[in-house]
Amino acid sequence: MPMLKIRGIEEAKILEVSTELIDELEKIIGCPRDYFSMELINSTYIMDGKKVQAPSIIEVSWFDRGQDIQDKVAKAITKYFKTEAMPCLDIIFHNLEEKRYYENGEHF
């Protein structure tokens, strides 16, 4: 159920790396590929009255899997998206609580 919400990265790049990225994350995390979701969020960023380039941010919402797995996931994501043209890629993890996550009316 890891959910990747992506901002500031071109759709073409996401499409290009999505299969290999999920292949790698599936091995690191140890959950089936159909548990993963990727969402491209198109947002308009504004500073000083002008539209500006969106920062490259990937948010990962998931059930906590420990620091070691989180570090490996961050490195894998960085490997697939960081380029010389992208000066900074931020990855933010949001840990979900099983008792607050419901599927079909039942919590985990």
Spans of the chain below 70 pLDDT: none
Q: Does a structural domain hold residue 47? A: yes
Q: Does a structural domain hold residue 107? A: no
pLDDT of residue 106: 87
Model confidence, pTM: 0.91
Is residue 25 packed enough to be buried (19+ CB in 10 Å), middle (13-18) or exposed (0-12)? buried
Q: Does a structural domain hold residue 23? A: yes
Dist CA 108 CA 99 (whole Å): 6
Q: Does a structural domain hold residue 108? A: no
pLDDT of residue 103: 87
Q: Does a structural domain hold residue 74? A: yes
The range of the structural domain enclosing residue 86 comes to 3-102
Give the pLDDT confidence of 44-65 residue by residue, as tens digits: 999 999 999 889 999 999 999 9
pLDDT of residue 39: 98
CATH code, domain with 32:
3.30.429.10
pLDDT of residue 108: 82
